[in-house]
């Protein structure tokens, strides 16, 4: 095997405009691609400079919106990011100290479950 990294993952959403507003406006990600591709729209976002990106997709019948759980995002300042999320109206649980580190959880507008984690448990 010559696999080097995860390049892309699909997050199923019901409304791509709502998802785009959340992932860029609330989570601060940037749009890498937003274009029509035949009958579908390719909407790709990522944190600035990240090697892995996400497609916010509503064109896959076997992937229900809200079906992703445990998507882990890393934060350089967990407390500040939790506060920013709360100010944006996001229901955040935590942050809390756990045996494996420090993290908080929340959902996107479709209920996809996101974990915000500190890189070293801070």
All structural domains of the chain with their residue ranges = 8-58+65-117
H/E element, 82? helix 78-87
Contact 12, 67 (CB under 8 A): yes
Q: In angstroms, rounded to a whole number, what is the distance separating the alpha carbons of residues 21 and 54?
A: 14
pLDDT, residue 60, reads: 87
Checking if the pLDDT of 121 tops 90, the result is no
The listed CATH number (3.40.1740.10, 2.40.40.20, 3.10.180.10, 3.30.930.10) that belongs to domain 8-58+65-117 = 3.10.180.10
Please state the pTM of the whole predicted model: 0.93
Query: How confident is the model over 115-122, as a mean pLDDT?
Result: 80
Q: For residue 11, give the nearest of 70, 51, 86 by alpha carbon.
A: 70
* 13-63 pLDDT, tens digit each: 999 999 999 999 999 999 999 999 989 999 999 999 999 999 999 988 899
């Amino acid at each position: 095997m010559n696999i080097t990294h995860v390049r892309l993952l699909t997050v199923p959403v019901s409304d791509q405009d709502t998802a785009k507003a959340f992932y860029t406006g609330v989570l601060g990600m940037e749009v890498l691609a937003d274009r029509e591709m035949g009958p579908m729209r390719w909407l790709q976002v990522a944190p600035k400079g990240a090697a892995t990106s996400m497609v916010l997709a509503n064109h896959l019948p076997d992937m229900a919106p809200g079906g992703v759980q445990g998507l882990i995002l890393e934060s350089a300042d967990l407390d500040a990011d939790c506060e920013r999320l709360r100010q944006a109206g996001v229901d955040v649980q935590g942050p809390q100290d756990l045996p494996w580190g420090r993290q908080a959880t929340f959902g996107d507008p479709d209920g996809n479950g996101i974990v915000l984690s500190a890189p070293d448990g801070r």
